[in-house]
Chain A
Amino acid sequence: MSVRCLALLVFVVAALDACRTSTVRFLPVGTRVPVSELEAQGGDLRAFIAREIDRHQYARAYFALDVLKTRPYTELRLGSSRVAEDLSDLRSMVGPLRSARDVHRGIGIVKRSGQQRRMSLSSRVYWDHLRLFEERIEALNEWSPGLPSSYAARKIYGASSVEETHLAFSADEAFLSFMVYGERVFGFIVTNGNLVVRPLAWPSTRLREVLRHLLDQVREPPAPQSLTAWMASAAELHDAVLGPFADELRNPRLRALFVSPDDFLASLPFVLLLEPNAKGRRPLAERLGITYLPSVSVYRQLLERPILNEPPRVLAVANAIYPPDVTALPFAEREAVTVSELFPGSTILTRALATEEQVVALAPRYNVLHFATHGILLDDIVTGASSLLVTADARHDGFLNAAEIASLDLSRTYVAVLSACDTATAAVPNSTDLGSLVNAFFGAGVPSVIGSLWQIEDQATTLLMLGFYNRLLELGAAEALRQAMLDMRTDRRFAHPFYWAAFALYGWNK
């Protein structure tokens, strides 16, 4: 009798247990799209992403977007040595240069005359890299299933899934990525592991128009009668660009927002966007530290960089000897002098001393690099051609281009400040590249890069940089820049965004 009771009990318990759901929940490495499928799109990944969104396959669309945005960086990093050789003398390729506008009190972007031929890097390099990454992921998953183990063990970063993105950020951080596809603009936001994809209500044409209007208001020194003219555009753009994600961004615990813009949105100063609050509107920078990223995969590589344990020593490069018709930058030199005098052991290279040979030789030995010189955007020739202008010497053309920078070993550099104009915006329409110069410094090993979105006023820049460097080691690059900007706003002379909103941090924010 007792055996029967025991058998019945075992049967009942087993039956109840069978009703339970599976007890083993291995989390895979995330939703991915096979490399072969992406490569088969023939370079039109945007159309693929839009299709996946229309099919409600948001995680697949997100993965493809990360592939799209990681590509320029990876190509530059993998091919920088070869490209640097091809671009060793850009003078003949670029043609005559001229200053874009009156830069007697500031730093100007340099333009060139006429159109040049477009070179292209081999796309095979990137797809081969992705394929290697995919094989490694499969091998890892076979031996050690589970997302965290494969995440931690991986050293090759091809592309990141939503799940891996979740692991890359803290609970008080959000990641917002945009994609422009014709007239459609999509935003992907990842907070606490949740991916939300929403289309922006405005078509890209209208967004461009309002953005152009905003930039017109803030890129020039303000007239006394139009100190607040920028606010209407900033509020409109906030509602159009961040409005769809208001629920996610309203989280009071949120401290940092990482933005991966696309196309023309790379020129949008997110710090300026005016969000509504109880008293009206306030710049987003008052609440959130904003950092720009090319993609999460690039960010994850930056996280592997060592943290320096040395006092800052600045290499400041300013006001080199430029080609004819390119204006000298005496005020940039003054800014560089002030910055270089902040810390003992710093060095300044100006004019005849700022040769490309000197810069290339000395840059790997300093942990803060400060360039106050002209920038020239040549992404339309080839990825990696955009340059910082320094003094030419017997062996160099004076174009310190992105490919040359990416092939340097700057692994000891903590932060690079590009206090030149437009270093962070891309010249190629529909490019996802935030700026090949910024990517070049990432590729060389610099985890944090500060670039500028427009021409900068010299005295304000000097004050902003002093505020930034004064806080850099205490607060980290993002918070130091944010507080320096907010300090500038409290100074009545420099309260207008023209003076403080031009700089943006790219990369690692701590």
Chain B
Amino acid sequence: MRVPVAIAACLLLLGCQPTVTVYYRTSPRRVEISKQVSPSSLYALAIQAAPDGVDVHLKRTSRVTIRRVLHYNSAAIVYDHNRSVYHETLELLLGLLHILAPISWGAEFFPNEQDTPEKRIVRHRGALLAYLDPTTSGDHFYVHVEPIVKQQIFSDAPTTREYEIRIPAPEVNVAFRVLDEAKNDLARGSATTDPYGELQIRGDLSRAVAVEISTGEGVIIVPIQPSAPPVEAAPIGPAAMPHAPVGGELVNEEWTKQNQDTSLPRVSLTIDVVPFGISSWISGSSNLNLSGEIRVQREISLSGEVRVHRKFSVGGLVWRESISTGDVFDTTLARSLEVGGYLRFYIKGDFGAGAYLGLEWLSGASSTTGPIDLTSYGPTLGYKFTSRLGGVLRGCQTFELAASLHYLRISDPLTQQSLVSRWRPIGHINLGWSF
């Protein structure tokens, strides 16, 4: 019996995972290149080298498109499991203690630094889970450096370069005609280009304006340029020449997305403090006088929210509300425990912090004096803010302001008589933790 347990324990420790990995970009690793070259065609330049001579430079020109992606090596500091049974046992106990202290639920082990083009932080576990999970280490990190990691973490955005290249065309047989403005022949003949793809035409060519070149591939008419053309204005200006800074936009979007997600909390647990009457003007939105006869008052309001996507979440609600007479006697008619849920879409920001639009739904059926049916649903608009506070262990405190407009319906299940049926505005001030 002891042997299988020992083997299982060893396997468990062998399967241990790092808690946090911080990647740092180092040197370029490789360049990924794809190249397309168009079929070449003949191109020629004609230059008036002297009054009695024209030089023709024959080229083969192609359009080239090259797409380059530069990938980098990276080094990593790995905050790993220390594979110590003793420490892991202590951590489990510590984790259980942490469950009793909700303020630590959203704690993280690494400062909330932002990723940069040269640094990426991947958190594999939150603090509480690292304590409880025997395959991740909490307090006692085994910190080590991997000088070159195998994964491809850093890459530049792909750059596409399109250009034309003109290679000299040596040993090409050409027939030529040198033309004046009236298209008269000043010289004609045939020749073969030299190793530089050039040929010299000599004669009285002072009036020459163009050269007609015939090869097996077609006929080209080339205007003759002066021998020392004036220096053109530099074609490359700052605005015309954007360059990709090293470590700019990432090319591996999937990795970026994954990394963004891992830096966000997954769960938020909050309690609404409005029902506790923290302020008189707020309590007005927590209590509802219905026709001067019935009053609905929230006593407890808890919510839990789970991230489905950076922009989208689902949650559960547990409310306890009292329904009483709205008169001077304020007699409690019923206490309803309501359970429901909500959907939220973050129209600005994300699950970590941002404005959201949501839809809530609650239903309750318990009573102290007699059965009632309660249904409450409607839209909600709010803003959630998460701050990371603390020292080495950082907690995610969550603060949320929201306003809902619920359609409330209370009926007697026995008689099916509707007691209340109207819209009610609700204010929320939610405080809690995210992790």
Contact = CB atoms under 8 A, between A and B. Distances in A.
Nearest to B140: A23
A312 B195 CA distance: 24
Contacts of B28: 170, 303, 510
A470 interface: yes
A152 B165 CA distance: 38
Contacts of B181: none
A307 B68 CA distance: 10
A212 interface: no
Given A338-B196, A353-B228, A151 B165 contact: no
Contacts of B82: 23
B125 interface: no
B171 interface: no
B143 A26 contact: yes
Nearest to B82: A23
B130 to A, nearest CB: 15
Given A13-B86, A27-B145, A152 B119 contact: yes
Given A313-B235, A473-B66, A305 B24 contact: no
Interface string B213-251: 000000000000000100110111100011111100000
Contact of B232 (A167, A170, A337, A347): A347
B26 A152 contact: yes
Nearest to A463: B195
Contacts of A23: 82, 84, 140-143
B307 to A, nearest CB: 29
B231 A349 contact: yes
Nearest to A366: B236
A328 to B, nearest CB: 15
Contacts of B161: 309-311, 473
Contacts of B156: 307
Max count, chain A CB within 10 A of own CB: residue among B22, B89, B243: B243
A149 interface: yes
Interface stretch (A14-22, A123-131, A229-237, A260-268): A14-22
B45 to A, nearest CB: 7
Interface in A315-345: 334, 337-338, 341-345
A146 B23 CA distance: 12
Given A27-B145, A341-B57, A473-B66, A306 B234 contact: no
A74 interface: no
A57 to B, nearest CB: 22
Interface residues of A, number: 67
Size range of the chain B interface in the assembly: 35 or more
B207 interface: no
Nearest to A165: B27
B347 to A, nearest CB: 35
Given A17-B85, A148-B145, A312 B163 contact: yes
B250 to A, nearest CB: 15
A362 B234 contact: yes
A170 B27 contact: yes
Contacts of B143: 23-26, 146
Interface string B264-290: 000000000000000000000000000
A367 B234 CA distance: 11
A168 interface: yes
Contacts of A20: 84
B142 A14 contact: no
A163 B26 CA distance: 12
Interface string B87-127: 10100000000000000000000000000001100000000
Contact of B236 (A149, A313, A510): A313
Given A168-B27, A366-B234, A476-B31, A307 B243 contact: yes
B164 interface: yes
Interface string B303-327: 0000000000000000000000000
Contacts of B64: 473
Interface string A437-464: 0000000000000000000000100110
26 contacts: A26-B145, A146-B77, A148-B24, A149-B24, A149-B77, A151-B24, A151-B26, A170-B27, A170-B148, A303-B246, A306-B244, A306-B245, A308-B241, A309-B241, A311-B163, A347-B232, A349-B231, A358-B231, A366-B234, A367-B241, A412-B243, A469-B165, A473-B64, A473-B161, A474-B66, A510-B30
Given A147-B147, A308-B243, 18 more contacts: A17-B85, A23-B84, A24-B142, A148-B22, A148-B145, A149-B77, A151-B75, A163-B147, A306-B244, A307-B159, A309-B160, A312-B163, A338-B196, A342-B167, A347-B232, A462-B196, A466-B168, A474-B66
